[in-house]
Structure formats: C-alpha cells, structure tokens
A and B are shown apart, each in its own frame.
Chain A
Amino acid sequence: TQLLKQSPQFLSIQEGENLTVYCNSSSVFSSLQWYRQEPGEGPVLLVTVVTGGEVKKLKRLTFQFGDARKDSSLHITAAQTGDTGLYLCAGAGGDDKIIFGKGTRLHILP
C-alpha cells in the first residue's frame, strides 16, 4: 500500500519567516502534485513535478521532487498571511492511482 506522509502536521510561524514542509513515501511516484486548500474551499493545484530532482518555483514557493521520486518538499520564502492554509501533496503511482497525504496545516501570524 502506497502511503504519503506529510510533515509537520501543523506549523505556525511569524510573517516574514521561511519554512519547509515535506512529503515522504517509501514508494516511487511517476508524478507528484501540491495543492493549497483554504477553509470552505476545494484544493487548488499549485504545481506538478514529474522528473526526479526537478525544482519548480512559483513566486515565493519552491517545490522540489526527490531524485528517487519518493519524496518532495515545499519551501516558502518570507511567508505572508495569505499563505495560510492546508497544503496537500498527492502522488501518482505506477497503477495510475492518485493518493493524497493528510496535509500540513500552515498558519502565518501577522
């Protein structure tokens, strides 16, 4: 059974600080997606990474896919209150099944 473990579960930091959240598995994924979900809304796709070692940047957000395609990280530089939300990673396995991690709940304090 493929599992995606996200850490930390919760993170509360001051505005302006940097942070990194992680998505780890013992299984290999053909691609990995990151979503942000705000209260009362559905998840919104931020990025998809498909190549081992790939790094993608979305303004202050940097996403990295591990070389072995088993893990990923999301780094936020100079966090803003608008970054508050639930961050979900989702991996596509060899059988094309998509599995979701349980998420990291991020709270940026003003």
Chain B
Amino acid sequence: NAGVTQTPKFRILKIGQSMTLQCTQDMNHNYMYWYRQDPGMGLKLIYYSVGAGITDKGEVPNGYNVSRSTTEDFPLRLELAAPSQTSVYFCASSNTIRGNYGYTFGSGTRLTVV
C-alpha cells in the first residue's frame, strides 16, 4: 500500500519556467490537499479538492493551479515560476471532510527557483 506518492523529489527551475508536481493516492480518499512548507512558517494550504472535478483555493493559491480529473490524482501546476515559490511542497489526502481525523502526507517535492 503506497499511500500518497509525489514526484519528483527534487527540482530546480529557472524563473519563468513551468512545471507540474504530481500526486497520486491509492487509498480511495475523496479529499486531497496541496501544502507548501517554508522554514519556520509551518504548512500553508495552496489548494484542496473534495472529490473528482471539484477544487478550491486555500490560503496561498496565487501562482498555482490544480485539477482533479480522477479520485487518485491531484497535480499542482506552476505556470511562471518565481523565486518566492522556492519551497517544499506536500500533497496530502484524507477520508473525512477537511481531514478532521488526520491526513496522510506524501514525502514532498523540494523545489528551487533560480
């Protein structure tokens, strides 16, 4: 049972480039989330989804886009990378509304924008 799988593990982007961070889960969870984690700043919610075809903005959505075409996959798209997007990105899923009883996190993608 793989849980939540994120790829790639590391990536370096140049300013203005685009990329997609992949996230897939095999637990049949309806709820999925993207967070970014910056040193000393905790986890900030970027986007979330309550089911296939439904997405909504979190606390820090600017510069990102998401889609949810299947229950399993929730990719995060960066269109025009900026240095402020240098961070560690975590995907998570849960089987209850907004994860009230805990999230399962992926192992993260460390992104550097130069």
Contacts and interface: CB of A to CB of B under 8 A. Distances in A.
Nearest to B40: A102
Interface string B83-114: 00000001010000111111111111000000
Interface bracket on A: 20 to 34
Contacts of A102: 40-42
Contacts of A40: 107-108
Given A40-B107, A41-B108, A42-B90, A98 B42 contact: no
A33, A43, A101, A102: most-surrounded residue (chain B CB, <10 A): A43
Contacts, number: 53
| B interface majority secondary structure | mixed
Contact of B97 (A96, A100, A101): A96
Contact of A98 (B90, B100, B104, B105): B100
B100 A92 contact: yes
Contact of B98 (A9, A35, A41, A97): A97
B43 A88 contact: yes
B98 A101 contact: no
Given A42-B108, A48-B100, A88-B43, 16 more contacts: A33-B102, A35-B105, A40-B107, A43-B43, A43-B90, A44-B105, A45-B104, A48-B101, A90-B103, A92-B100, A96-B98, A96-B100, A98-B45, A98-B100, A98-B103, A100-B43
Would you list the 8 A-B pairs with minimal beta carbon distance, nearest first?
A42-B105, A96-B98, A102-B42, A45-B102, A100-B43, A92-B100, A100-B42, A43-B105
23 contacts: A30-B100, A33-B101, A33-B103, A35-B105, A40-B108, A41-B108, A42-B90, A42-B92, A42-B105, A42-B106, A44-B105, A45-B102, A45-B104, A48-B102, A90-B43, A90-B103, A92-B99, A96-B98, A98-B45, A98-B98, A101-B42, A102-B40, A102-B41
Interface of B: 4, 40-43, 45, 90, 92, 97-108
